[in-house]
Structure 1
């Protein structure tokens, strides 16, 4: 690869294959604000308006997508999560990028360099050192503070992912300030029912302190969670989120969740079914609480996490050793949602699958519980994690189009820990417009630019704004 080779493929019509695709994107989608209703951005860094020391700190730290690619190429951990200098880590990433061809990292990397830094060169070993210094000088400036970066991408709302025991002090501090975007918390209580995981009882102590409840038994656990939901609601939370292998469902009263709680508290080992039943019972009660508050619940289903136990012991979770699981989803998902619906306590819901073989299962499942009370009440969520790339997004869009109403879809999110990840919304919008544009070109849709443009705008922005109630954001 020659030095400073231009990113000519990333022109204004990137991914747009005909005139209708271009019209839909440029005239209808490109300028819309972003509602990023699920991400893992650190709220303290937004509240403090952090400025990062260099591009490695903001771009490579915590990005397990990039880490996986570097490991695959044979780069030692020292240059990934180890003690190498930030310059050395960036240089190793620069060596990796040319080998990421046809991986979404190749597109994302060059979009992020272009959209944030104005760099329209292919990153590689010949220019890595120079671009590190060039980008780091920009990064370590007020124009690249966390808030300014979000404003630059026209972000209107970000919903972070927050544990029930969190104080929400950073959301509270930020809410008193006048900014061009809003930051809201989202309730992620998975640890509260992970009774089979190490550290569960230490976590309940933390939850007890935050809620002011001595969690001595099962009813106390539910009381603590209810108090935290009340607290989150007062702090503008309107969404919950769960990352699970699958949903669970059991016939009523098959086990006694209070007895299971006590058994575990006494240090006695639980049977796998007992642990699963406990998760089901707590989650069911949580879903009742969400419905009372009018929240939206999100279920991210199908990840097989922490596969490499040797490296997990060294680096901990969320470091790039998770993959797609092949869990059976349909029956328990149906039964769980049906149990909530039977008592009219099924709130607005977004379902995300990680295994692409579940696309049709999830796309048809949402139709079972859309009851006409809310537009798109049950959503088949966007391509997630390993599926938030071109093929994955196209497959999700096509499946939803064929088996539901794509016009009611609430669109894309970043699901990211990176402040430089927001061009993924642009990526999604270009892919969406190209799919509609190709159908218009091929005579599969009317060449009605205004009507189809409106549908595109709804998917990219207005559906999410209305679905989550962000009217006054």
Structure 2
């Protein structure tokens, strides 16, 4: 049912302002009335800033998407298959969905593995393979996502992308599943068709250092080389206590053609792989360490620790952490040489439940934030490269207590450093607002790099970018309403945040000098 609610607000200069809002509700399956989304969702509620926000958002809502940090598999876009069933597309890759349902007591075998055999053959858990049953579990638990960004993203996907007009519930689960299954058999819902429909200009994947980049080469041969670019992610190689480290080193040697028998050959192999990524169109590296430490070791000490690990000797946690911090410094040095943008996002204790990791694998929602210190940790790196004309670093965090105290002050003075968007658990309406409130007054808008969606869930990309553009429109509208910005400045800033800044932040070095950034006028 649809109802109008009229509320009167007093405003300066007039007796009152009348605000009319429309809400739409959906009842049972088969109801002729459709579930729709409010056009002003996530915009400010008050009647002074909402019209301003609408005007600002209108300038950005149709801009191309620049998705420079994410986890969509290049193979999907290269082979362009049909996506499969709704569970495979919308539930399997989205650990936000899984973790919420599991948190309410649903057995992990019902949602966490999503089919197939357990990774651990000795596991007593038999993963559920009935994807329709998994979908029903999700729909039955739709109420759990109220107030979360997951709710916003998923309802945008269902309504705007897939034309679903019934709110998920136990009663509507099968009808929605059938509708989605039908549309997913059509060419209009293949990956490349959606890529174009979503108006994605460039999408960066995240790839292991030893990846052969074959799918990127195939995409480039088909004219997609500028649309889908790889990102160099060497994390497992830089952590000597990583369970699969020896195998990863062997893979690095095979991919680079360099026999990794020493610390020196290790660095040479990493340099070779970085060049291979650059040749494939890479713009950036990606580093997800637990801590932000960048203290360099002497070559002798780094060699000693590396040789211990290479020889199979146990490396204690202190030495392993020292080596990983040293390698972040080395990655910065290499970025200063080759121009790849360095992305750093520490502060997540991965795979908090080790039994879940052994049974179901990584990326099932058991990653938990920890506090991170940045001021002293990044000092060695920034002292060495913070003013280097060829070096660029983008720092993300999910410890939002450090925005105003540490990250914004550093980004506000070091030319090489920029602040990344609110990420992961902070990728939410209020998280984005808090980011603007705490970072802008020190770092400004132009020491930030625009939004990144950081998602494996391909169909959620436009929803996530849309939410970011709405929140920025609301923030800028408040500055206009408070006479801290003129409206034309707010519109220009919104366009820069949505499009120009991410393009400039990740531009190949030859294009990243001041004044050479691609620019969209509003």
On whether the aligned pair clears a TM of 0.5, the verdict is yes
1:25 shift after superposition: 0.7
Of 356-365 and 160-169, more deviation after overlay is shown by 356-365
- If asked which structure has higher relative contact order (CA below 8 Å, sep 6+), I would say 1
The residue number in structure 2 matching 1:2 is 27
Counterpart of 1:399 (choices 438, 446, 455) is 438
TM-score between both structures, scaled by the size of structure 2? 0.84
The residue number in structure 2 matching 1:16 is 43
Q: Give 1 or 2 for the bigger CA radius of gyration.
A: 2
Of 315-324 and 355-364, more deviation after overlay is shown by 355-364
- 1:299-349 CA deviation, whole Å, 9 max, x = no partner? 01111111111211111221111111123333112233223347x377111
The residue number in structure 2 matching 1:352 is 396
1-side partners of 2:227 and 2:299: how far apart? 44
1:219 shift after superposition: 0.5
Q: How has the CA–CA distance of structure 1 residues 338 and 305 changed in structure 2, closer, same or farther, with 3 Å as cutoff? A: same
**C-alpha contact (below 8 Å) 2:350/2:368 kept by paired residues:** yes
1:252 shift after superposition: 5.0
2-side partners of 1:69 and 1:283: how far apart? 33
**C-alpha contact (below 8 Å) 1:288/1:345 kept by paired residues:** no
Q: Superposition RMSD on alpha carbons, in Å?
A: 2.2
1:148 shift after superposition: 1.2
Q: Is residue 435 from structure 1 mapped to residue 480 from structure 2 by the alignment?
A: no
**C-alpha contact (below 8 Å) 1:352/1:381 kept by paired residues:** yes
Give the total of aligned pairs.
463
Unmatched 5+ residue regions in structure 2?
Answer: 1-25, 45-49, 114-126, 509-516
**C-alpha contact (below 8 Å) 1:60/1:66 kept by paired residues:** yes
Unmatched 5+ residue regions in structure 1?
Answer: 371-376
1-side partners of 2:248 and 2:138: how far apart? 36
**C-alpha contact (below 8 Å) 1:69/1:96 kept by paired residues:** no
Q: How has the CA–CA distance of structure 1 residues 329 and 408 changed in structure 2, closer, same or farther, with 3 Å as cutoff? A: closer
1:411 shift after superposition: 1.1
TM-score between both structures, scaled by the size of structure 1? 0.93
- 1:354-406 CA deviation, whole Å, 9 max, x = no partner? 11222222122212312xxxxxx421111111110111111112222111111
Counterpart of 1:301 (choices 336, 346, 355) is 346
The residue number in structure 2 matching 1:325 is 370
1-side partners of 2:220 and 2:297: how far apart? 43
1-side partners of 2:77 and 2:188: how far apart? 14
Q: Is residue 389 from structure 1 mapped to residue 428 from structure 2 by the alignment?
A: yes
Q: Is residue 424 from structure 1 mapped to residue 449 from structure 2 by the alignment?
A: no
- 1:58-101 CA deviation, whole Å, 9 max, x = no partner? 10112111000111222222321222311111110001112221
1-side partners of 2:476 and 2:288: how far apart? 31
**C-alpha contact (below 8 Å) 1:186/1:238 kept by paired residues:** yes
Q: Is residue 415 from structure 1 mapped to residue 454 from structure 2 by the alignment?
A: yes
Q: Report matched runs for 1:33-182 at 5 Å.
A: 33-80=64-111, 81=113, 82-178=127-223, 182=227
Of 330-339 and 93-102, more deviation after overlay is shown by 330-339
1:254 shift after superposition: 9.3
The structure carrying a bigger helix percent of its residues is 1
